[in-house]
Structure 1
């Protein structure tokens, strides 16, 4: 293990200036990329798609406006406006056209957009009708899968509307050889091809596309070198003049060639990170083990005395600011689920090398220091923890947690490494894992993981059990029988499993349809040149060129399902305090709240459709009367009082998150209803499906589409987040909650789990508070938990921030697998964070 320092490094005044400039205005949508890609596609009709993609990428990089902002040491911006975004019509465009006039005023992640930009986008969009990945994906989906999406059983919208991302490329290879070296490798493969080879047509065009893409990136850096020279000639400030000369020199060398020093390595890294975003609209393009591949350049400069630790820190801080400059616009519904303008760029520090030795170093600590300095949501900093992790490194990480920024997240090598081996990774590759996006493990430079492939709401199949597969008058699930006639809990639980398995099969169908669409219409040659074994195989990652191929949709609602099913087993089947008929009515009428407007409307609509099929047309008023008759409801308080009694009884049933083995192991069994069926499926790239148990922040908006559940949750309120206990139900303290969550089978959920906890700031005060905090993490990980993340903020601060957002512009909180500025979140998401149990030691 390398020796490392934990002493604080002073923050450069430059960094605060960069941060302030970044957040001075609302983000802006720009049209340059959309116009340029449309121009290129019109000129390349009839050519192979991989060639068209490379030519379009080159056309964009040769012509998109560029800028070097004041005080920058690391350059390269996708937009002229800070935190601006480009658009990507090749994936989808109709949603944005429909929202052009509302995107600036929506509640989650608003963007300014000029009238001229709207007109330019509308003009470009005319070309893309019938040509997008989303349209092709829809044509490939089974009708049943489309219906399930429409009824909010699951949503694959992440990749339906956007690029995939969710990858870590071989940054280290670019640092070592530059893109000239990668072009040389591609040319060698091309020279080895014969026109008579069976795969010649595909492989030769792919390799030529790689070479063209790499050349375009080199040209793009050259544009920045020229701009820096011009700006240096025009400035009278001798300090800035010299900085611009160095920037010009750096950009003239990297990323074309291998980096000679730490500064060049930083600039080379940034071009890769930025331009991966420019090629596609995928998010969660994650820097991975930055402290490992950057360390040789830092160490060499430090030993040679050509850099100071302070300047190296300033360069890293500049990169941290730039990571917050990247942005994307999502549709309004997705923006609610990903609120906070996050791109989920996960950067991880610490952990083991492929030989199983701890490799924590100076840069590992400086990554933590950078997040302290910029105090911004990106990168989504993580740390790897195992038995060999240096204690002082974890204390340093805990100091960052104590700031309340929600960083870092903590990951357990002792669980993740064997979980990845279980999916076919070699021991060496598994030991070198990093985290993608929120919480998803993978081996960098070898994996196309398709993490976040869909959000699956585990509560909705339970609703289908109660309705015998019906939803809003349509058969969405499968008939599993009348719940009031089910004699045993096992019969009821089996019905739930059948609904789950059917809905999971539809999710797989939808994901695979989108997967095929990306391979056919949007292969990515630039990304693929930095993933093994694409060059050797002669195909992009979208076509299966990676060594490891997975699809990782995530289920959520574990705590709701575990608590609800446990309550049914106890109250209905064991103690017989509640009949299934009573429970069904209580759920339909939202317990003591009365039939809420959405449920009433849905059920009224169902009756109107049923009557129409029977040849009778009835109006809404008549249908509502029939509904009340059907439900057996009479005026008065008797039944509503009974519903309240049922809700009170459910509240008294033991809940997941309180170190009650009977409940916790039942939750483990419930988690299996999602994780086990999923893993039997294959994807079009020759890989397997693997489960994740986390919602990002979709548990809030998708909870809004879910009726009351038998754990006592009211209709249209948030569903439990990740594998965390339901908000407010873990009442026995943080260690009890951690013990409960550790009893889930984290080894089988190789696409990641998410465990949130919230602490009052006093819990981490002083060295004693930090020691207890680290002990909590160690204890949870010793029990084989996979992941932990924390909010350290008091409830009153959050409430005040809701009422006076102008006073809390820099308040960063942990949302789900990412952090965000609290005041940028939707009100419903803010409320969800406030509701979480506030722990203390």
Structure 2
């Protein structure tokens, strides 16, 4: 038997989970008020000093909260699953949403009136002083116009902190914050007063000492709070827990951990304080099993069931972290996503298998907690034990969308190709959605921008125009294209132009963070900031990258293939006819299927029902828009009249009939590969202000839905404003030849060049993974996909009917968690259009 099943969570974990599920996220004001007071008091001082004094004030004065049942303590907010505001990055969007954030479509937050009043008062200080203000002042009109037109957006770091980092948790567990302070003192003593660089280095080291001294006090405040609660506690079991929590917080993270419980507490304090220092998301715990397992093995006194409960408590705490964004960005990151990626398995730096006891305990924690965080990942290589992959398959079968699975055989050489050493590449972790990095040595600027490849396709077809605006360079009009080579030439010119301004916009924001938001607390845990005497934001990390991600690859590839086949090869339609149909959105109202052909005859209920039944019985599609068109066409045929009275609808059906990416057809797949490579090769031509290289990724978060609204009709038959394909996945409903064929298509993309990460979603019916045979089939699919050089794959295991039922009755399905993109989320909190996108994904079976 391969199946093992999972144990049940403790009652404590069930209660802590309910706190998260039943929480109504709030915006809180304490951090905003404290950072504003700190900055007012530090006018005229260097930026790094001001940031240290801000951290000092926050760590010393932020309210201390210990929730019922907690064994691991440390909270960013008073209320569960709530958020603080960081006005030093941006603030005006918050004020603009005081009255609407509680009721917006995606990720609503309550803002009590007294909180809004406190924030309003704090915000008065910040006009002209934020990182977004500075970045905007650097940015050209052309870069701003490109963003306004929906070609790309750099809003992620424009509005907030960068995050997207994995720090050296292991060092803190071993040496504590006192070890960091000792390093800073030693570096100060080594400074040469004759070296001009020593002036700024001295400011950096002093900032580290100030920040870490306050961070120690933050933990001691929790020790005092736990002792206070213990004194008043009448339950002897809870009293003993609180007394031990007080001892733990007195010891760590000031000093190195001695027990597994202390190690868990120290790890969480690091995670919590990183979030408090800045508003960055995707602050990722990295290779948790590698730095935690030594403490488990060395702790001879701990019961394994209690050790498991401690890990489960960390899982709960990771779900307590939340972040609010502006209304538009919230739609792109739908589901209260914070992207704290925790990774297990893979290889050691010297190339041996890294799987250990904690690797499996993390999988058990997933089964116990069953909440969206962390973004749980596993690394797989040729030396990974089959038992490890089978156990991961059992976790996948739970239907939570985790673990995401990563291929060492692609990622390690792709990192080496970017200049990462072999040992550091083998020690990679996953950050955020799907982004690999050399842990605690990298400032990757992953997720630096969303780039809409399909929008560039649209602009190419309009000779550089968006509407009446000449946004890109003037290229040959579509109606003058004599071959598909004319398209490629124009596409290359447009891509070169827009990537150039993407890079400019990213670098403007990058410069602004270096000047106004250097982070001393974070930087001291990233190599080699201490050796170089500068922050991560100024280039202190060993490896520096900027990683913008693309989406719309499958849509573009399918469009180019359909155009090549029906216009230039088979000559079924002319290029002018295609352009006319696209401009007319195939004769549809925007976002609707074309009912023109269905209007003949009597539109009785019986006739419509019969057409729907006929389509459902024979259609291979799960895409709602496609199914609508097929129903309309069936109604037209049933009248005995022509299949369609609209030539535009005929053209759309012709285009939609083309073979699509996701079916293991080289003629289609290699076109998608070329379209993606065009983007990736343009991106990697550029460097950033930290002395590092740009590297491309292909993943969407949930932006494929939001930014699909900016894209008009495409030659693959997709109507205007419809969602785009997510990541490197095929278009919804188009991968009809089974999961292996779909995976083979995706593997043909150049995952090595997309070294910032690629994202592939597959969706399975639960029956496909039943029993030992289901687990074996799953493992074989992953191994085969990775043998073909795919980088990443993740799975939803759920049926369409369950999702539709949850959509109708959300209160009964609060604990339904699904994979959205590079993260999981509660299904019922997603915007309906994102829910529909997940429902429409192809349901695979073996």
**Native 8 Å contact 1:32 1:64 kept in 2:** yes
Task: Give 2:612's aligned residue.
Answer: none
**Native 8 Å contact 1:346 1:436 kept in 2:** yes
The secondary structure found in structure 1 opposite 2:654 is: helix
User: Partners of 2:431 and 2:298 in 1: how far apart?
Assistant: 29
**Native 8 Å contact 1:344 1:380 kept in 2:** yes
User: Partners of 1:473 and 1:202 in 2: how far apart?
Assistant: 50
**Native 8 Å contact 1:591 1:640 kept in 2:** no
User: Partners of 1:94 and 1:10 in 2: how far apart?
Assistant: 46
The secondary structure found in structure 2 opposite 1:104 is: helix
Match for residue 246 of structure 1 among 238, 241, 244: 244
Task: Give 2:421's aligned residue.
Answer: 426
User: Partners of 2:167 and 2:236 in 1: how far apart?
Assistant: 38
**2:602 corresponds to 1:588:** no
**Native 8 Å contact 1:54 1:209 kept in 2:** yes
**1:697-736 equivalence runs, <5 A:** 697-736=702-741
Q: Deviations over 1:637-679 (max 9, x none)?
A: 9997111111111122111110111111121111111111110
**1:152-171 equivalence runs, <5 A:** 152-171=150-169
Shift of 1:741: 0.6
User: Partners of 1:596 and 1:273 in 2: how far apart?
Assistant: 43
Number of aligned residue pairs: give it.
795
**Native 8 Å contact 1:453 1:552 kept in 2:** yes
**Native 8 Å contact 1:6 1:365 kept in 2:** no
Task: Give 1:316's aligned residue.
Answer: 311
**2:665 corresponds to 1:667:** no
**Native 8 Å contact 1:531 1:541 kept in 2:** yes
Shift of 1:8: 4.2
User: Partners of 2:386 and 2:4 in 1: how far apart?
Assistant: 11
Task: Give 2:14's aligned residue.
Answer: 16
Task: Give 1:46's aligned residue.
Answer: 44
Task: Give 2:388's aligned residue.
Answer: 393
Match for residue 759 of structure 2 among 754, 757, 765: 754
**Native 8 Å contact 1:6 1:392 kept in 2:** no
Shift of 1:6: 7.1
User: Partners of 1:425 and 1:9 in 2: how far apart?
Assistant: 40
**2:646 corresponds to 1:646:** no
Task: Give 2:833's aligned residue.
Answer: 828
**2:187 corresponds to 1:181:** no
Do the aligned partners of residues 7 and 710 (structure 1) sit closer, same or farther apart at CA in structure 2, a change above 3 Å counting? Answer: closer
Q: Deviations over 1:550-570 (max 9, x none)?
A: 000001111001000011111
Shift of 1:22: 2.1
The secondary structure found in structure 1 opposite 2:83 is: coil
**2:364 corresponds to 1:364:** no
**1:307-346 equivalence runs, <5 A:** 307-346=302-341
User: Partners of 2:147 and 2:243 in 1: how far apart?
Assistant: 54
Do the aligned partners of residues 654 and 75 (structure 1) sit closer, same or farther apart at CA in structure 2, a change above 3 Å counting? Answer: same
Task: Give 1:777's aligned residue.
Answer: 782
Shift of 1:346: 0.4
Match for residue 533 of structure 1 among 528, 535, 539: 528
**1:517-532 equivalence runs, <5 A:** 517-532=512-527
User: Partners of 1:118 and 1:669 in 2: how far apart?
Assistant: 50
User: Partners of 1:403 and 1:465 in 2: how far apart?
Assistant: 44
**Native 8 Å contact 2:644 2:650 kept in 1:** no
The secondary structure found in structure 2 opposite 1:52 is: helix
- Structure 2 residue runs of 5 or longer lacking an equivalent are 593-641
Task: Provide the TM-score with structure 2 as the length reference.
Answer: 0.93
Do the aligned partners of residues 391 and 496 (structure 1) sit closer, same or farther apart at CA in structure 2, a change above 3 Å counting? Answer: same
Task: Give 2:600's aligned residue.
Answer: none
Match for residue 207 of structure 1 among 205, 226, 232: 205
User: Partners of 2:466 and 2:717 in 1: how far apart?
Assistant: 21
Task: Give 1:628's aligned residue.
Answer: none
Q: Deviations over 1:565-598 (max 9, x none)?
A: 011111111112111111111111111315679x
**Native 8 Å contact 2:698 2:758 kept in 1:** yes
Moved over 3 A (4+): 5-10, 594-597, 637-640
Superposed CA RMSD = 1.4
**Native 8 Å contact 1:455 1:555 kept in 2:** yes
Match for residue 689 of structure 1 among 657, 678, 694: 694
Shift of 1:505: 0.5
Match for residue 547 of structure 2 among 543, 552, 555: 552
Do the aligned partners of residues 247 and 47 (structure 1) sit closer, same or farther apart at CA in structure 2, a change above 3 Å counting? Answer: same
Do the aligned partners of residues 640 and 274 (structure 1) sit closer, same or farther apart at CA in structure 2, a change above 3 Å counting? Answer: farther
**1:258-269 equivalence runs, <5 A:** 258-269=256-267
Task: Give 1:451's aligned residue.
Answer: 446
Shift of 1:407: 0.6
Task: Give 2:750's aligned residue.
Answer: 745
The secondary structure found in structure 2 opposite 1:294 is: helix
Task: Give 1:89's aligned residue.
Answer: 87
Do the aligned partners of residues 112 and 755 (structure 1) sit closer, same or farther apart at CA in structure 2, a change above 3 Å counting? Answer: same
The secondary structure found in structure 1 opposite 2:715 is: coil
User: Partners of 1:476 and 1:812 in 2: how far apart?
Assistant: 41
Task: Give 2:603's aligned residue.
Answer: none
The secondary structure found in structure 1 opposite 2:27 is: coil
User: Partners of 2:644 and 2:511 in 1: how far apart?
Assistant: 52
Do the aligned partners of residues 829 and 290 (structure 1) sit closer, same or farther apart at CA in structure 2, a change above 3 Å counting? Answer: same
**1:254-293 equivalence runs, <5 A:** 254-293=252-291
Match for residue 807 of structure 2 among 780, 797, 802: 802
Match for residue 503 of structure 1 among 498, 502, 515: 498
Do the aligned partners of residues 660 and 671 (structure 1) sit closer, same or farther apart at CA in structure 2, a change above 3 Å counting? Answer: same
User: Partners of 2:722 and 2:523 in 1: how far apart?
Assistant: 41
Q: Deviations over 1:221-276 (max 9, x none)?
A: 00000111111111111111100110000000100000001100000000000110
The secondary structure found in structure 2 opposite 1:674 is: helix
Task: Give 1:617's aligned residue.
Answer: none
Q: Deviations over 1:288-315 (max 9, x none)?
A: 00000011100001xx2x0011010000
Do the aligned partners of residues 6 and 444 (structure 1) sit closer, same or farther apart at CA in structure 2, a change above 3 Å counting? Answer: farther
Task: Give 1:231's aligned residue.
Answer: 229
Shift of 1:7: 7.6
User: Partners of 1:493 and 1:712 in 2: how far apart?
Assistant: 20
Shift of 1:422: 0.4
Do the aligned partners of residues 245 and 595 (structure 1) sit closer, same or farther apart at CA in structure 2, a change above 3 Å counting? Answer: closer
The secondary structure found in structure 2 opposite 1:327 is: coil
The secondary structure found in structure 1 opposite 2:382 is: coil
Shift of 1:196: 2.1
**Native 8 Å contact 1:398 1:774 kept in 2:** yes
User: Partners of 1:324 and 1:473 in 2: how far apart?
Assistant: 46
User: Partners of 1:638 and 1:521 in 2: how far apart?
Assistant: 63
Do the aligned partners of residues 7 and 584 (structure 1) sit closer, same or farther apart at CA in structure 2, a change above 3 Å counting? Answer: closer
**Native 8 Å contact 2:216 2:253 kept in 1:** yes
User: Partners of 1:464 and 1:472 in 2: how far apart?
Assistant: 9
User: Partners of 1:154 and 1:238 in 2: how far apart?
Assistant: 58
Shift of 1:10: 4.1
**2:380 corresponds to 1:382:** no
Do the aligned partners of residues 169 and 640 (structure 1) sit closer, same or farther apart at CA in structure 2, a change above 3 Å counting? Answer: farther
Task: Provide the TM-score with structure 1 as the length reference.
Answer: 0.93
**Native 8 Å contact 1:810 1:821 kept in 2:** yes
**Could you tell which deviates more after superposition, 791-800 or 571-580?**
571-580
User: Partners of 2:589 and 2:153 in 1: how far apart?
Assistant: 29
